[in-house]
Structure 1
């Protein structure tokens, strides 16, 4: 089954229903399908091996995604925030390609006659002009639908591939066709090169929900769009939610009474922030969605009822669940394993493994699946007795002090309980005595006095143990995050090295 069938079903069921709203322009499902079919004709004629997007979210992204699927060519949304040298290297890996978006930058960085270039406007115009040219059927469920480059740190980015079968399995397992009433609208503000943005398009189209695209996130613009279009659903990363709430707290708070569902993911959600959000939106259902590129998006959910129960509970076991990512989807299996691959019991920390039809675990370079089809996520965590999954960071981020594994998250949670600390990060730093030791960097909350080193060390020692006490402590105005809200620990390590 090809993912393009989702758009075809939507256009057949409700051709005149609005599918996408972007920059004030409205596109029906019939128009989107026409654009996708025309795009497929352009793609086939170009002879390309990839369809790339170097642009913000727009109707062109949807037409390119489904046009590529119809033409049987992988869709490759590129990170437009990359440095020139890094982007040029990726362009080299996908040539010959049909590339939509910032054609001037592409021509400057990687001039090649093998590539076919379209600006956003020219691509949409050309695709609509060819909308009557229905393409041949695309690849079946075994073909590659999407290729996403991972964010390489010490090596070249890997090319993660998602087959039609992976994405179809995820959508059919989580969304009911045409389940959204016509007034429903999903506000999508994550970039198109992230799996969350792609999953939002696929799931909303299959549900026949109106999609509100915000090309560049700004908290005021987000609030205004949500109010004007009466958004019913939204997905954000924690840093976005923090900025939205801060803007509301400062007085810009339009009517968001239509907002029924607020999903978040992509990074660690501070407990204080989610408690504040639950108070600020008492009638809205919050969902924490945990997933990875290689798993076609979400594999575990903490649902609205669980959020409210944990928020209101005085039972420590129940309230602690607000820091979890919930339970696995019914369509996937999750296990915690040690370094030797042995399955660990409830409560013990190790690496998270996942298995299911939506799980690709595949790269252009190689497959990461083991012989039984399990994918090692490289995320560390544990599962409690009730089946709730807790994350403790990346497996690579574990601090190994004298042979003892230390999770950065446990130290950060303790330090963030201090009223003067707005943000904190623990990383491994070299130690002559222990091999590695704890380095801690903190951000002071506005209006608070800076606590002394001894005070913070005593806090960690009292709540944890002496091995968790930082060997070095730094203070900063802000911590480095990427646009999806993920903490850049490699950048923090550079600060300690300096």
Structure 2
């Protein structure tokens, strides 16, 4: 009997990252993954010399989609089992890697390593895709200066439950935004681009109603690649076919999507909603700050207070009051962290995602 497979059969079970709560087993069926691959990759389209570097674990949706995409397009796959910035650079150079995917924390470390090396040549590298978290604007700007001019950048936003990528900020978007002096256009470099063909995207308020441009809410998506199903827990896809991602964000007038972090991460201080990412972006602009995480912690007067964990660059020093004033000068005073704690490092999972719930527990305990 010829081998056959039902499109509705389970293809893979992948656990979600667990950054805000316990991981759940997302169910991806063959029809979801096939829909994603057929919608984004042309069969056998890769040139003979093409090689894709995978440094994301195969139990992460980015690792699964990268391998499947490379196989379908005909790219040679190069694997880096344990990420190290210098090892990544050496492997790209030695193996003639043409395409690579990284998460924001990886790209930041690669840029630092390139800057320390004084501009190592990576002539084979044609394209870098990044995703899996919010990319600080300062990091991508440095990256575009550090890599060869012929290297294209693509920002991809997606989830485990959606079989990977939903929106893309492509190479031309990067070049246009980086070169523009128009604030609204340059700002798009901090976006995750626009929805892929076949993907419908809406921003909805707390009542589940769609909102207009630049209004913040929950990102909801619909498309054939979207599963939204969890093992033993059923589906979270609504009767209208839309899946609520639990990610917060907004869309501009040209349909570029901007992430604000997880909806659960939004800080509510005295009835005012605050995005941790907005405050983190400002803190990362300070010359002494290497890394940071902003969370809400319980506060009797305001409901929640803004708290920040700060990692200072080696050889630098900065005080809490200086950082508060730095934020106040660039944002409203209410967004300046009430509590600031200095840490040697921040907790990340194996795929480079910040474990914000661990930071919240740490800072809540420190302020109790």
CA displacement at 1:150 relative to structure 2: 2.2
What's 2:170 paired with? Answer: 303
**Cα distance in 1 between the residues matched to 2:9 and 2:185:** 43
SS in 2 for 1:463: coil
**Cα distance in 1 between the residues matched to 2:241 and 2:219:** 14
Deviations 1:427-449 (A, max 9, x none): 01110111111112222233433
What's 1:448 paired with? Answer: 316
1:404 is matched with which residue: 272, 296, 301?
272
After superposition, residues 34-49 of structure 1 pair within 5 angstroms as none
CA displacement at 1:155 relative to structure 2: 6.4
Alpha-carbon distance change, 137 to 230 in structure 1, aligned in 2, over 3 angstroms? same
What's 2:81 paired with? Answer: 215
Asked if 1:378 corresponds to 2:241, the answer is no
CA displacement at 1:136 relative to structure 2: 4.6
What's 1:439 paired with? Answer: 307
The answer to whether the 8 A contact 2:46-2:75 is kept is yes
Give aligned pairs, total.
Answer: 363
What's 1:137 paired with? Answer: 3
Deviations 1:309-329 (A, max 9, x none): 222222211111111111111
Root-mean-square deviation (CA), in Å?
A: 1.8
What's 2:350 paired with? Answer: 483
What's 1:320 paired with? Answer: 187
What's 1:67 paired with? Answer: none
1:194 is matched with which residue: 60, 75, 89?
60
Asked if 1:391 corresponds to 2:256, the answer is no
Stretch deviating more after TM superposition (320-329 or 475-484): 475-484
The answer to whether the 8 A contact 2:115-2:146 is kept is no
The answer to whether the 8 A contact 1:423-1:442 is kept is yes
CA displacement at 1:423 relative to structure 2: 1.9
2:199 is matched with which residue: 332, 339, 342?
332
Alpha-carbon distance change, 218 to 153 in structure 1, aligned in 2, over 3 angstroms? closer
What's 1:204 paired with? Answer: 70
CA displacement at 1:487 relative to structure 2: 1.3
Larger relative contact order, structure 1 or 2 (CA cutoff 8 Å, min sep 6): 2
Deviations 1:191-239 (A, max 9, x none): 0100001001111111111111222222232222211221111111122
**Cα distance in 2 between the residues matched to 1:297 and 1:190:** 13
1:276 is matched with which residue: 133, 142, 145?
142
After superposition, residues 35-434 of structure 1 pair within 5 angstroms as 136-152=2-18, 157-251=23-117, 255-281=121-147, 282-364=149-231, 365-434=233-302
CA displacement at 1:477 relative to structure 2: 2.2
Deviations 1:43-62 (A, max 9, x none): xxxxxxxxxxxxxxxxxxxx
The answer to whether the 8 A contact 1:181-1:209 is kept is yes
TM (normalized to structure 2)? 0.94
CA displacement at 1:254 relative to structure 2: 5.2
Alpha-carbon distance change, 487 to 369 in structure 1, aligned in 2, over 3 angstroms? same
CA displacement at 1:462 relative to structure 2: 3.1
The answer to whether the 8 A contact 2:114-2:146 is kept is no
Deviations 1:248-282 (A, max 9, x none): 22328654101111111112222222111111222
What's 1:44 paired with? Answer: none
Stretch deviating more after TM superposition (372-381 or 484-493): 484-493
CA displacement at 1:152 relative to structure 2: 4.2
Deviations 1:95-116 (A, max 9, x none): xxxxxxxxxxxxxxxxxxxxxx
Deviations 1:117-143 (A, max 9, x none): xxxxxxxxxxxxxxxxxx852422111
**Cα distance in 1 between the residues matched to 2:55 and 2:118:** 19
The answer to whether the 8 A contact 1:224-1:254 is kept is no
Higher-Rg structure is 1
CA displacement at 1:408 relative to structure 2: 0.8
Alpha-carbon distance change, 472 to 155 in structure 1, aligned in 2, over 3 angstroms? closer
SS in 2 for 1:178: coil
2:327 is matched with which residue: 460, 477, 488?
460
CA displacement at 1:383 relative to structure 2: 0.4
SS in 1 for 2:117: coil
SS in 2 for 1:378: strand
**Cα distance in 2 between the residues matched to 1:467 and 1:253:** 41
Higher helix residue share: 1
CA displacement at 1:154 relative to structure 2: 8.0
The answer to whether the 8 A contact 1:199-1:296 is kept is yes
Alpha-carbon distance change, 152 to 441 in structure 1, aligned in 2, over 3 angstroms? closer
SS in 2 for 1:224: helix
**Cα distance in 1 between the residues matched to 2:120 and 2:2:** 47
